Amino acid sequence: MNILVTGGAGFIGSHLVNGYIKAGHNVIVIDNLSSGDLRFLNPTAKFYELDILDPKIPEILKQEKVNAINHHAAQISVSESVANPLLDANSNIIGTLQLIKNAVSSNVEKFIFASTGGAMYGEQIHFPANEEHPCQPLSPYGISKLCAENYLKFFNEQYGISTTVLRYSNVFGPHQNPHGEAGVVAIFCQKLAQNKKPVICGDGEQTRDFISVRDIVQANLIALDPTCTGTFNVGTGTETSVNTLTKSLCNISGKNISVAYDSPRSGEQRRSVIDYKKLNDRFGWKPEISLEQGLIETYDFFQKQKA
């Protein structure tokens, strides 16, 4: 299969590219390198340095005979979306809308969309949240993802293109950018590798559902299945507080470094954890990488980056 991965030089995208190539697919990558890094891009993939709004996209889809699009190019920072909602909307709504339009006109069979479970459900009513939980995002980032999901549903119903929405919980792992991306694990791993204090926003008792990027790759391989359509949560179903996470990372680093606290971030919910039962019941997917194993892999990556 010829698969286009947008954002394929980014954190999650680079891992997906590796997973798809390992599974025997031909992979084409479009990335504007605003947050991506060519060091992490598999050299087997064909690379175009372009924005997803570039008018050359339809030509590339036809030229490369693209069968499936996996759309991971996005503005992904909750705090950045609060500070600049127009930028967020242009990337996550207009960019996705233009891409799905191009997919339909180029007869692409499958469109996989990276959405958010972490920011989609807002202050949850029940824990963990399944896909039927009310969507009440607290940030422009979550709002833009919900809007894009609705456009995908329209294009699926109107034009018949097969669409799969994967709502991720808090993804972490090697290749994550500790500067521009919303990833507490990456930020803290880099701080500890540099012998600096991790800074917790708020009291640290806020919870998240942390999932290894390796488990995310497996979900995206399943999403290629023609029968895998609709919306699926991809998480662990387990809540972990930021305080507990930080303690684990400090133990893994072996460093006796104290933690600092700062004011909480706006637009972020208190508790977040999602239910993956639907994906498990239909396709047998479940998280395989423990939190500790994933944290060790991530910390080791940042230690090597420092060298």
The predicted-structure confidence for 209-255, as pLDDT tens digits, reads as follows 999 999 999 999 999 999 999 999 999 999 999 999 999 999 999 99
> Where in the sequence numbering do the catalytic residues fall?
141
Q: Which band of pLDDT confidence, cut at 50, 70 and 90, is reported for residue 179?
A: confident
The answer to whether the CB of 111 falls within 8 A of the CB of 104 is no
> What is the reported pTM?
0.96
**The CATH number of the domain covering residues in 184-205+239-271+301-306:** 3.90.25.10
Q: Where in the chain is the domain with CATH 3.90.25.10?
A: 184-205+239-271+301-306
In the DSSP assignment, the letter for residue 123 is S
Q: Check: CB of residue 208 under 8 Å from CB of residue 242.
A: yes
| Residue 180 pLDDT | 56
What stretch(es) of the chain map to CATH 3.40.50.720?
2-173+211-238+272-290
Nearest Cα residue to 278 out of 244, 235, 248: 235
199: Cβ contacts below 8 Å, ≥ 6 apart: 191, 259, 260, 261, 262
Q: How far is 269 from 137, CA to CA, in rounded Å? A: 9
Region 29-44: mean pLDDT is 96
User: In angstroms, rounded to a whole number, what is the distance separating the alpha carbons of residues 123 and 230?
Assistant: 23
Q: Which CATH superfamily hosts domain 2-173+211-238+272-290?
A: NAD(P)-binding Rossmann-like Domain (3.40.50.720)
